[in-house]
Amino acid sequence: MPHLSVATWNVNSVRLRIDQIARFVGEAAPDVLCLQEVKCRNEEFPSKAFSAMGLRHVHVVGQKGAHGVAFASRHPLQIIQAPAFCPMSEARVAAVAVKGVTIHNVYVPAGGETATLASPKFRHKLDLLERMRAWYASAPKDRPLLLVGDLNIAPGEHDVWSHRALLTEVSHTPVETDALEAVRAAGGFVDVARVLKPAPEKLFSWWSYRNQDWQVSNRGRRLDHIWATPAMAGSCDEITFHAACRSWERPSDHAPVQARFAL
């Protein structure tokens, strides 16, 4: 049976991490790699390096020095109009269709350091999430659609190292987790990671650079997600959190998350 393997990874600069990306692609062999925070303009994206990895088809929505999302694929990509989620028109959303599957690649703002509506960065995050909710509420639910990316929210009690300690920390506050759940419900999405790896198993995809020995402290959060509409979710038979990538030389603070779908 044919499969489609999709990985999502906030690489925190695609040019700086290109060697790590090549290593990951060589080891994990994703069919489609969805990147966030590429931090380059479209013309600066290292397409030749991805072609050498076997990912010859790329689509980049870039921005100088910040944000930016991209696809790199073994299969041809049909570029489609991305939803206008970002109220500040930053490079945070890209959309393609591959092998009959639509994929939305989204980079939600981190939200700053303070979880208060008086913070412009936090307000920006919530505004973007509300635009996502409204868009998916009116979108068809019967098509194979994946929503992937760095959503910058750890939604559940077992998606953080300490639920109690992080309830007032940006990425796990109730206002954020409620907003993300509203997006999921509006789109009828299934969080495939939690289907295949249900709670109370701890799942993390991000560990702060501030933790000198992240493996010992393991103070992680699950900020990176792969969601599927019901038409697609039932075909997901494998999901992997590639935590080992976090220990590589000059790592991103995020680790890739990869899911496989039967077609």
Q: For 128, which DSSP code?
A: H
CATH class of 3-262: alpha beta
Convert the pLDDT of each residue in 158-188 to its tens digit. 999 999 999 999 999 999 999 999 999 999 9
Strand-strand pairing, 257-262 and 3-10: antiparallel
∠ CA 238-27-75, nearest 5°, is 70
Residue 239, CA distances (Å) to 40, 177, 195 in order: 29, 22, 10
Which of 85, 106, 100 has the alpha carbon at shortest distance from 37? 106
Task: Please state the length of the chain.
Answer: 263
CA 205, CA 12: separation in Å to the nearest integer? 14
pLDDT score for 206:
98
CA 139 centroid distance within chain: 20
As a whole number of Å, the CA-based R_g of the chain is: 17
* Tens-digit pLDDT profile for residues 48-65: 999 999 999 999 999 999
CA gap 101, 121 in Å, rounded: 33
Distance CA 49, CA 206 (A): 25
Token pair 């989204």 is found at 106
pLDDT per position as a tens digit, 96-108: 999 999 999 999 9
Instruction: Examine the pLDDT at 1 and tell me if it is beyond 80.
Output: no
**Which stretch of DSSP H or E encloses residue 136?**
helix 120-137
Pseudo-torsion of CA 18, 97, 189, 113, nearest 10°? 40
On whether the pTM is more than 0.85, the answer is yes
Torsional sign, CA 260, 261, 262, 263: negative
CA 209 to centroid of chain Cα atoms: 19
Instruction: Provide the token pair at 127.
Output: 């505004």
pLDDT 10s digits, 64-115: 999 999 999 999 999 999 999 999 999 999 999 999 999 999 999 999 999 9
